[in-house]
Amino acid sequence: MTGAASFRVEVPPPADGATRGRIGRLELTHGVVETPQFMPVGTNATVKALHPDDLVEVGASIILANTYHLYLRPGHDRIARLGGLHRFMAWDRPILTDSGGFQVVSLGDLRVVDEDGVTFRSHLDGSTHRFTPELAIEVQQALGSDIAVAFDQPVFPTSERAVVIDATDRTHRWAERSLRAHDRPDQALFGIVQGGLEPDLRAASARFVAALPFDGICLGGLAGDETAAQREATIDVAVGELLDDPRPRYLMGLGSPADLLEAVHRGVDLFDSVLPARVARNGQLWVPGGRLNLMNKRFLDDPEPVQADCPCLLCRSFSRAYLAHLLRARELLAYRLATCHNLTFTLDFMARIRAALRSGTFPAEMPELALRAGPTSGSAVAEKSA
Ligand SMILES: [Zn+2]
């Protein structure tokens, strides 16, 4: 452990096993994060369209920034010279950086994986680059995030078993190299569990990563092309191996409220996704019980707010008609207002889950929370907005 993070379970799961959901308190260099918690994604050192004050107002206590994107542009050395990522983007609360593994594998063009690292071509200009566990850590240490993540080789959840075994074994070797390379004392380091959807591989990966001195455990390789049932079964296997483990558990890439609710119930503490912000920019506004598609003509004459009881920048001043107009005119304010709303909805939803967990009514309140989350799972939303 680095000593740069301390995690305390304040409300453990009930002894009767009705849920694995729990309340935790994660103390980091730049502040405290209550869990379960959702992290908005600031890919290019900005959560698209939002000022840091907007982020505070929507209730964000921690955000994620992408190592791959910041390495390519503007460059981690430049950010370090300018005082580090917090100073650069004027965000003084915690930041988690991912390792770049997912982007290198999914965005990079060329993408040749060998034992030492990954060679890939930039999605920006086609230039050739190489990521190794050591470089991924060096970049994150230069950025100065509160939490860095070990470099891994993700695979699509439904890949063939031989492919999953190969990538998972390599991820384990890279986890050890990431640990050896990391020496920034004010930065925590999380390890990543892989193993695809195969229960034995996922369990073995969870045991391997849990045996290493990481500050937290990420569940990688999910929120991809798997079904909800496959994802839930895989979470159960991994969390089942971690029940007595004192560290936070982070499921990478999950973002629809219905999916978040189910994963909290199964024992996950941290989440991130571009989904709420991305669908907002496409005119999909999340409201209790479902969503409104503001591109629908009927909203052009609707004087009501998007959600009457919502305190966000959009709902407290503007009508559905105004936002529908801005979106059609592609006015820039639309993106800020819509993003503020969907992140307010998502972070408020997490706060409702925490309140239920804290008061001991969580599994009983799940049907009510599921109604509020609406019927749409992340994969369905992502398809519609792609
Ligand atoms: Zn709102």
pLDDT per residue rounded down to tens, the chain (386 residues): 888 999 999 999 999 999 999 999 999 999 999 999 999 999 999 999 999 999 999 999 999 999 999 999 999 999 999 999 999 999 999 999 999 988 887 776 788 999 999 999 998 999 999 999 999 999 999 999 999 999 999 988 888 999 999 999 999 999 999 999 999 999 999 999 999 999 999 999 999 999 999 999 999 999 888 999 999 999 999 999 999 999 999 999 999 999 999 999 999 999 999 999 999 999 999 999 999 999 999 999 999 999 999 999 999 999 999 999 999 999 999 999 999 999 999 999 999 999 999 999 999 999 999 999 997 665 444 443 33
| CA-to-CA dists, residue 18 to 9, 249, 267, 357, 369, angstroms | 17, 19, 11, 12, 16
Dist. CA 210 → ligand 1 center (Å): 40
Supply the angle between the helices 320-328 and 332-358 in degrees, to the nearest 10: 130
Output the CA 285–ligand 1 centroid distance in Å.
9
CA of 208 to the centre of ligand 1 (A): 43
272 catalytic residue (yes or no): yes
Question: How many whole angstroms from 343 Cα to the centroid of ligand 1?
Answer: 9
From 215, 269, 272, 348, active-site residue: 272
312 and 25 in contact (C-beta within 8 Å)? no
Choice among 98, 146, 269, 348 that is catalytic: 98
Give 163 Cα–ligand 1 centroid separation in angstroms: 44
Q: Give yes or no for a contact between 58 and 97, defined as CB atoms under 8 angstroms apart.
A: no
Contacts 24+ apart (CB under 8 A), 8-12: 9/246, 10/358, 11/357, 11/358, 11/360
Task: Please tell me the pTM assigned to this model.
Answer: 0.96
